[in-house]
Amino acid sequence: MENLLIMEGIIGKIETKPLKNSTLTVTNFSIAHKEQWKDKDQTEQEETHWFNCELWNAPQKLIDKLTVGSLVLLLEAKLKTKKYINKENVEVTAFYIAVNKIKVLAEKKEGKEGKDKK
């Protein structure tokens, strides 16, 4: 059974960080995916869904293009889960998208002020 996801969206927050004692990097970002439809009364409806994404070892040239507000296409990705214990000591299952291939469709022209440089 294949778990393959293709999605278009706009980048929200983004952060790239190196792993300790390694040459690997991970880029975590969120994307907004907007759905539009007409309800039974033919009234326009709209809903935005936010998804957390993870991209491993992307080339710096690509990371530089991934800015807040950029329109991207996730060409090859998988839906995954992570389990953790929250502050209330309850096990939580979080969903995220593990991205293998991504294409920037339109870069935001205003610069990279939204990048988190932690």
The answer as to whether 117 is a domain residue is no
Domain presence at residue 118: no
Residue 28 to residue 101: CA distance in whole angstroms: 14
Our count of domains for the chain comes to 1
Beta strands in 19-70 (DSSP E): 25-38, 44-56
Give me the tens of pLDDT residue by residue for the chain, a chain 118 residues long: 778 899 999 999 999 999 888 888 999 999 999 999 999 999 999 999 999 999 999 988 998 899 999 999 999 999 999 999 999 999 999 999 999 999 999 987 654 444 444 3
Is residue 93 one of the residues assigned to a domain? yes
Domain that holds residue 13: 5-109
Give the CATH number of the domain where residue 10 resides: 2.40.50.140
> CA 32, 75, 66 angle in degrees (round to 5)?
55
The answer to whether residue 114 sits within a structural domain is no
